[in-house]
Amino acid sequence: MSERLEDARNVLSVEGLTLDLAGGHAQPRLVDDVTFAVPAGGAVALIGESGCGKTMTAMAVLGLLPAGIRPVAGSVRLGDRELLNRPERELAGIRGREIGTIFQEPMSSLDPTMTVGDQIAESRRLHLGERRGTARSRARELLDRVGIPDAARRLRAYPHELSGGMQQRVMIAAAISCDPRLVIADEPTTALDVTIQAEILGLLRDLQRDSGVAVLLVTHDLGVVADFCEDVVVMYAGHVVERSPVTDLFASARHPYTRALLRSVPAGRAPRTPLDVIPGRVPSAGDFPAGCRFRPRCEYAVDACARTEPVEARLDGGTGGHAARGTRCLRVAAGEIELQEAR
């Protein structure tokens, strides 16, 4: 699709990813023809309102789709290795080792019955074959590195003995413990207080810059995107509707949905505002309108938008190592929507 996807520097290449919910007669398509890439050392944001398919896309990459949801087309490559439909045993060896994960709820990922030191050390023993003593001292270094005070003592703490922010730091330490090539962080700070959110994001950004690990960040939060990422992938109702370097997105968003998202964040707003103020709502999977899925909410829609499903059109821009720009809108592709400042 883009030259970027064929680029050997990509750590993750998702191409045409399509996920169906099996069962019953109708098989709603939850994620449809999703294409994007994360370059080595890069940080890419996946954004969009609730229910757009961000988490399902991330779960497909990890081989952790919920029961009943299956890939029916496309590919997910880590470097040049295909991950889609690989055996669970193989994927389990990749998760934790080559792909670290950070989820919204630390307690859903941390084992409540193990000390945090054992959890991190165990991962290094399992994936890297490290000896117990070495793994343990490495675990202490990792806790230090994610800013946990008195790391030697905290190694012996159980997750429930730590605050939410400290638990999230432990999860970050676990995610990077085996020096992965890619970290997938799905709403990593949404469950935290605003002040702690900023600290955790600052930590993630420092780690990313120091270690060069590539990051795919799933978020509702445009403030986070601006601070953290070089490229943005905007999803709407299972589709990617816009792909863009972050600076171009903020300066000149093209897709009407992206423009509406940007406008929904008031200037001088409190940071971390949820993107929930565009009139109307995201249609449910299986209930997508014909033509463009955003049409019922789109201020630019014309009759043709109800008849024709737009495909991604390439735009100019995307130079300097950034992703090519693309947008899934008939009217933008036809040059009918004037470029305007988005905010």
Ligand X SMILES: Nc1ncnc2c1ncn2[C@@H]1O[C@H](COP(=O)(O)OP(=O)(O)OP(=O)(O)O)[C@@H](O)[C@H]1O
Contact set with Mg ion (CB under 5 A):
55
Nearest to 34 by CA among 62, 8, 9, 60: 60
Residue 121 interacting entry, from Mg ion, ligand X, none, C-beta within 5 to 8 Å by type: none
CA atoms within 13 A on the CB side of 209: 9
Residue 51 interacting entry, from Mg ion, ligand X, none, C-beta within 5 to 8 Å by type: ligand X
For the chain, how far is it from start to end, CA to CA, in angstroms?
Answer: 30
Give residues 272-291 in contact with ligand X (rule: CB under 6 A).
284-285
Q: How far is the CB of 25 from ligand X (least distance, A)?
A: 16
Give residues 43-72 in contact with ligand X (rule: CB under 6 A).
48, 50-56, 66, 68-69
Beta carbon nearer to ligand X, 122 or 186 = 186
- Residues 233-272 vs ligand X: string with x where CB under 6 A? ----------------------------------------
Bin 26: left if φ > 0, else alpha if -120 < ψ < 50, else beta.
beta
Residue 94 interacting entry, from ligand X, Mg ion, none, C-beta within 5 to 8 Å by type: none
Decide: residue 209, CB within 10 A, 0-12 exposed, 13-18 middle, 19+ buried: exposed
Supply 316's token pair: 């100019």
Residue 173 interacting entry, from Mg ion, ligand X, none, C-beta within 5 to 8 Å by type: none
In angstroms, rounded to a whole number, what is the distance separating the alpha carbons of residues 341 and 261? 13
Give residues 115-144 in contact with ligand X (rule: CB under 6 A).
none
Beta carbon nearer to Mg ion, 38 or 46 = 46
- Using DSSP's 3-state secondary structure scheme, residue 17 falls into strand
Decide: residue 49, CB within 10 A, 0-12 exposed, 13-18 middle, 19+ buried: buried
Residues 61, 144: contact at Cβ < 8 Å?
no
Q: How far is the CB of 261 from ligand X (least distance, A)?
A: 13
Number of helical H runs and strand E runs in the chain: 13, 12
Beta carbon nearer to Mg ion, 57 or 119 = 57
> Is 318 one of the binding residues for ligand X (CB under 6 A)?
no
Footprint of ligand X (CB under 6 A) = 21, 30, 48, 50-56, 66, 68-69, 220, 284-285
